[in-house]
Amino acid sequence: MQNRLWKYFFPPLYGMIVYFTIRLLLDSVTGMKFWERKRWGQTSLEVVYCVLISYLFVWVFQSLFRWFDKRWPHERYSSRRIIRELLYVFLVNFVFQNVFLTTFCALTDDGAQWYDIADINTIPLLYVLIYYGIMRSRTFLKAYIDGKIQLEKITNDKLQTELKFLKAQYHPHFLFNALNTIYFQMDENVGEAKKSVEKFSELLRYQLYDQQQTVPVSQEIRYLRNFIELQEIRSSEKLRLDVRFDGKLNGQQIYPLLMLPLVENAFKYVGGDYWIRIEATVDENQLLFSVANAVPEKVPIPTEKAGGIGLENLRRRLQLLYPEKHRLHIEKKDNEFLANIVLNLNA
């Protein structure tokens, strides 16, 4: 309905506005009052003529705008394109008005005077610039919005691809450690090896099949417990392990596999007094997860290469999933390595 009104009712409205503006300006110069003319037929003819050519005018400029879009499809927001379009608009308007209005004016009343030609070339130009601004602003705004949506889609697709790649990097490292553990158990205790395989299956199921975008924190904790139990099997008997998970951690939603890298590094680098402390608590809307382990004095802080899957990987995932809504702190104090994550559960 709106397009139909614009198509059929806008041209005559535009033509009448242009006509009456020109007539009023001319009459103010000449002292005439066109509405007092005795020859109403002449006035009616002028109005009808302006209305009819306004349809042609709109068609010409709509075609011109489509030609702009076809000729410069990749320069939608450039000032260079707008300047070129305005130049074409000026030239087409100049030709159009002088062919149709100046010629018609020359054949009516006392012919075309210099002020007639000046008004015919000035008044329609002002209106056509307003018309251009309205029509092209709609086109440019739509193109801008479409471009922003496309850019956001590309950015989101890129982030999703990167997240999948980063998460996939956990699997090879985890598989290597778990299979290595089961391999050594086979020589010592087949029954325990079978239990390890069951735990291993649960861990794989969680990683490969149960990965929604977010998971309940209780599900993540259950995964960590299974992982820790597998690591205990392959660890030395002298390892002192202290694991504490707050009972309030239950249905809160978090992104999965963010705490695993810190636990993995703790088991990989533990030494010295040979103890590991793992703790997860909730404070209002924040999850606090910390891992500490004993290390020999000269062991460096794990880096991307030293940490296997890499703490850099974890940093990148946190930046993508919890932008400005997380804290990751890592430090080494004497014979102790500390790492903790704070996550905003409202993220």
pLDDT digit string (tens) for 19-41? 778 777 767 666 666 555 666 66
pLDDT tens digits, 199-220: 878 777 777 654 557 889 998 9
pLDDT, tens digit, for every residue of 262-297?
998 898 888 888 999 999 999 888 999 999 999 887
Q: Model confidence at 340, in pLDDT bands (50, 70, 90)?
A: very high
| Residue 135 to residues 18, 61, 65, 139, 289, Cα–Cα distance (Å) | 18, 10, 9, 7, 57
What's 99's DSSP letter? I
The pLDDT value given to residue 343? 94
Residue 105 sits at φ, ψ, to 5 deg, of -65, -35
For the stretch 133-177, pLDDT in tens is 888 887 777 777 877 787 777 677 666 656 565 565 555 666 776
- B/e letters for 147-186, b = 16+ CB within 10 Å, e = fewer, are eeeeeeeeeeeeeeeebeebbebbeebbeebbeebbeebe
pTM (two decimals): 0.53
Q: Can you tell me the distance from the alpha carbon of 59 to that of 341, in angstroms, rounded to the nearest whole number?
A: 64
**Domains detected in the chain:** 2-159 (no CATH), 169-344 (3.30.565.10)
Please check whether residue 274 is in contact with residue 257, taking contact to mean a CB–CB distance below 8 angstroms.
Answer: no
pLDDT at 306: 44
Report pLDDT digits (tens) over 311-322: 788 888 888 888
Strand partners, 278: 243, 291
- pLDDT at position 72 is 77
Residue 94 has pLDDT above 50, yes or no: yes
CB neighbourhood size of 340 (10 A)? 17
| Mean pLDDT, the chain, whole residue set | 79
Q: Are 88 and 41 in contact (CB under 8 A)?
A: no
Quick one: pLDDT at residue 281?
Answer: 94
Nearest in space to 180 (alpha carbons), one of 226, 231, 222: 231
- pLDDT tens, position by position, 125-136: 888 888 888 888
